[in-house]
Amino acid sequence: MDIADFFDTFFEEAEELLADMEQHLLELDVDDPDSEQLNAIFRAAHSIKGGAGTFGFSVLQKTTHIFENLLDHARKGELTLRADLVDTFLEAKDIMHEQLNAYRSDEEPNQEAYERICQTLQQIALEEIGQTLEAPVTPAPVVEQPATVTDNGETPAADEAHLLVTLLNVGEKDRTLLVEELEQLGDIQSQSGDEKCYEVILKGSVSADDIEAVMCFIIEPEQINISEVAAKAPVEKAPNPAAAPTADSVACEADVATVTTPPPQGEKNTPVPAKEKPARAASKKAASESSSIRVSVDKVDQIINLVGELIITQSMLDQTVSDLGDQSVGNSSLQNGMSLLQRNARDLQEAVMSIRMIPMEFVFSRFPRVVRDTAGKLGKEIELITEGKSTELDKSLVERITDPLTHLVRNSLDHGIEMPDEREALGKPRMGKLVLSARHQGGNILIEVRDDGAGMDRERLLAKARENGLNVSDTMSDEDVYQLIFAPGFSTAKEVTDVSGRGVGMDVVKRNIQGMGGRVEIQSKKGEGTNTRIVLPLTLAILDGMSIKVGSETFILPLSTVLESLQPTKDDMYAMAGDDVVLKVRDEYLPVIAIHEVLDVENAITDPTKSIAVIVQGEGRRYAMLVDELIGQQQVVVKNLEDNYRKVPGVSAATILGDGSVALILDITGLHRLSRAKKEAGKVVSNPHLSYYKEAEPS
Amino acid sequence: MSQATNESVLAAAEAENREFLVFSLGDEEYAIDILKVQEIRGYENVTRIANAPDFIKGVTNLRGVIVPIVDLRIKFHLETVEYGGQTVVIVVNVADRIVGIVVDGVSDVMTLIPEQIKPAPEFGVTLSSDFLSGLGSLDDRMLVLVDIDKLLTSEEMALVDSTSNR
């Protein structure tokens, strides 16, 4: 076992602490700060500092140290908070996060950013509390023990102290491990003792708390006793109470300029730190550990896969039993067992799927910051309201929705909501309103970004579209006009700003959302605001499908793409140049894709009037697909084809049907491209598989 | 990973002797490295993939994993290709993928010593000698030793996306 094994734990904890810190900073009311919140921010900084010191992340440790000192003054009311100070604090938090990420990927953190933030924080300390620093009564920054000036255990000032670490009732195996850990922390001067009581004298700059923090991974806090010993001739047994804090502030400043200079202070004979605090922390930790565990996503996915298999096996059994017919009717225990198995399997599947579900709060929690920063940059006043934080969504979707959502929010802030003066002139409140909401709707989740800004200008969009050479007409529906903003390179912003307007992005947003099996809808009213709605499936692993039959083969169409189905009549079918065929459906002409032609299915119905036309929608276009038969709707487990094979044109994935056979899930736009490629190639290609790729290359 | 360890352990232990799974395609006998073989099963329930080369029979469900099935008989232009109770699928593990290959039958497992492995001569078009690791001679039998890794990941098998960005 190596100390590196604990790195991940630290990284994850630090990440959570930083997130907490940010949340509290954002909620902080600068005029009347809540002391609980200040304490929480301080504690987060302190914990990160402790961990960073333990694991030797010196840059992070020093940054947090300076930050922590400032926070300490703030929570004691010696530092008056202002909005710009909170901004600086947020920046410091960001830099700490970057440092953490750098350490995580085994890189050295950005030295420049580190020096800059240290200087800024230092500057604040000098300007805002310059006088109070000199005041002799300022105690050292000690958590919850501000009175004990002599307790120097907290400050990681570069004191080269000798610490006596006593291990009580520790077995030999654990002991070797602990001694190894101690070697990482400092020089071991001597070690002796037995199982009951083992003493190690350690020379180094780590604090007692840090040692304890490391040891607690292996043994209980009660088993450790740490005290400082005077190694050399003690200079001062009882230090001047006034001297210590000064030394601390010196040390704090020295940290920035030269890091290694220890303050000219002798060893202090410190009493053993009070035991209650770590004990309390430990019990708190134990409590939270029992309520949740960290499991790697791979393991969860494995369970989900296995449960999927179980479901398939169960439905195969079910099929077999129903095939038995009369024989099984008499056997009621078999019947009962089967229905029980079915219920249990479904429940199990639901329970397992819920493991992957995480609340939207994880996404929404970052937006107060985004809105604050963006609004500040644009000089707008914006109130952010989030609704439905507890709505749960598949983890992989949550990760992938964040970027598109950020883009939409920025867009709303930049283009949607007007400047405060403008709003006032229009008779709206100065403060713009942005609502983020999430809720379930059927088998989908609906995420909305709503603003009460200017709304979209139909005429301007159309004019811009013409300018860009897009094919538009005045008779287009509002919905279609609004969808224009998702065209690549489309931006109606009068000028390019820092925030948006380059026209890059909205097309990416749409592509990302479609990649997740979802869609974007826009509702807007000029002068009243815009509502961007993202409709996503609950999970990527399971798809609502419509099974269809062509010839003897079964395919799955994603239900979200299916609009309706109808029986085409001869009068509604029109041939166009070449062998293109369109189907007239309620005054709309839809390109016809005959699946049996595109996918070379044998023994399929070739007469369109005898087949069924399924009207489907893909990437905003509608098509009529000719199939032989509709089998029904069912939920299918999506299986990747590329794992062992390759991407297949016209097919997005595969699934396993109840009888254990594989069915392909069709990709609407892929099929359309394939059908065009095939027609262009004149149907006489020796190897259509390869030729498709060549044809499709430019797109 | 275990395969890599197996291989290295085996290589160290009996430095030269290699074991091969022998299968038949028509009248010819072929052999592949037994360490590449995951399992052997019957041919059943294959879902056709449209627009794929004819030797790719389709995909099948191997305990929840979608696995492509390649018929080597079609690939090697054998005259009679029949599917019956005796038709066998050898499931192999190559390049972190699982692929099933259809053969006429599996006969046995052979250990070949280096002297029995002769270099492959330059071959015709059907089976490039790039995909052979040699010819094994065993009494009066000749085994064509196929480098299944190279064969299945080759461009012409169209089993793997030629460019990774697709």
Ordered by start, the domain boundaries in chain B are 18-164
Computed on alpha carbons and rounded to an integer, the radius of gyration of chain A in Å comes to 33
Using DSSP's 3-state secondary structure scheme, residue B127 falls into: coil
A645 vs B45, B50, B59: nearest CB: B59
Residues A181, A463: Cα–Cα separation, whole Å: 69
Measured between CA atoms, how close is B161 to chain A, in angstroms? 5
What would the two tokens of residue A228 be? 């400082």
Residues A555, A623: Cα–Cα separation, whole Å: 17
On whether the CB atoms of residues A669 and A621 are closer than 8 A, the answer is yes
**Other beta carbons within 10 Å of A171:** 11
Q: Report the residue count for chain B.
A: 166
B63 vs A309, A650, A692: nearest CB: A309
Q: Please give the sequence-ordered ranges of beta strands (E in DSSP) within A513-656, or none if there are none.
A: 519-525, 529-537, 542-550, 553-558, 562-566, 573-575, 581-585, 588-594, 612-618, 621-627, 629-637, 651-656
pLDDT single digits (tens) A193-203: 776 677 777 77
pLDDT cut 70: percent of chain B above it = 83
Chain B partners of A663 at a C-beta cutoff of 8 Å?
47
Question: Over 90: is that where the pLDDT of B91 sits?
Answer: yes
Chain A partners of B160 at a C-beta cutoff of 8 Å?
646
pLDDT at A275: 42
Residues A225, A275: Cα–Cα separation, whole Å: 9
Are B51 and A642 a contacting pair at CB < 8 A? no
Are A661 and B45 a contacting pair at CB < 8 A? yes
Are A309 and B51 a contacting pair at CB < 8 A? no
Rounded to two decimals, the pTM is 0.51
Are A646 and B53 a contacting pair at CB < 8 A? no
Nearest of A170, A222, A221 to residue A198 by alpha carbon: A170
Q: What residues have CB less than 8 Å from A49, skipping those under 6 apart?
A: A61, A64, A65, A68, A156
Residue recorded with tokens 């001739």: A233
Residues A502, A414: Cα–Cα separation, whole Å: 12
**Other beta carbons within 10 Å of A228:** 20
pLDDT at B134: 82
Question: Over 90: is that where the pLDDT of B90 sits?
Answer: yes
ipTM of the complex: 0.81
B64 vs A309, A646, A664: nearest CB: A309
Are A639 and B64 a contacting pair at CB < 8 A? yes
Stretches where chain A sits below pLDDT 70 are: 1-5, 129-161, 169-174, 177, 181, 184-186, 195-196, 204-223, 228-290, 328-330, 442-443, 489-505, 539-541, 577-579, 619-620, 682-699
What would the two tokens of residue A687 be? 């190897």
Are A645 and B159 a contacting pair at CB < 8 A? yes
- Return the amino acid letter for A138: T
Measured between CA atoms, how close is B1 to chain A, in angstroms? 17
Chain B partners of A649 at a C-beta cutoff of 8 Å?
51
Question: Which residues of A are known to be catalytic?
Answer: 46, 68, 411
Chain B partners of A661 at a C-beta cutoff of 8 Å?
45, 47, 61
The pairs formed by A105-110 with CB atoms below 8 angstroms and a separation of 24 or more are: A108/A59, A109/A59, A109/A60
Nearest of A359, A360, A321 to residue A341 by alpha carbon: A321
**Other beta carbons within 10 Å of A38:** 21
Give the A-side interface with B, CB within 8 Å: 305-306, 308-309, 312, 553, 598-601, 639-651, 654, 656, 660-664, 674, 687-690, 692
Are A639 and B50 a contacting pair at CB < 8 A? no
Are A640 and B99 a contacting pair at CB < 8 A? no
How many pairs of residues across A and B have Cβ atoms under 8 Å apart? 83
Measured between CA atoms, how close is B104 to chain A, in angstroms? 23
Chain B partners of A656 at a C-beta cutoff of 8 Å?
61, 64, 66
Query: First vs last Cα of chain B: how many Å apart?
Result: 26
Question: Looking at chain A, which residue has its C-alpha nearest residue B99?
Answer: A644
Tell whether B49 lies on the interface with A, counting CB pairs under 8 A: yes
pLDDT at A238: 43
- Residue numbers of B between 83 and 142 with CB closer than 8 Å to A: 97-99
pLDDT at A599: 86
Q: What residues have CB less than 8 Å from A70, skipping those under 6 apart?
A: A79, A89, A121, A124, A125
pLDDT at A366: 84
Chain B partners of A688 at a C-beta cutoff of 8 Å?
51
Are A689 and B61 a contacting pair at CB < 8 A? no
What would the two tokens of residue A309 be? 């298999």
pLDDT single digits (tens) B13-36: 455 678 899 998 888 888 999 999
Residues A193, A181: Cα–Cα separation, whole Å: 18
On whether the CB atoms of residues A631 and A554 are closer than 8 A, the answer is yes
Architecture of domain B18-164: Beta Barrel (2.40)
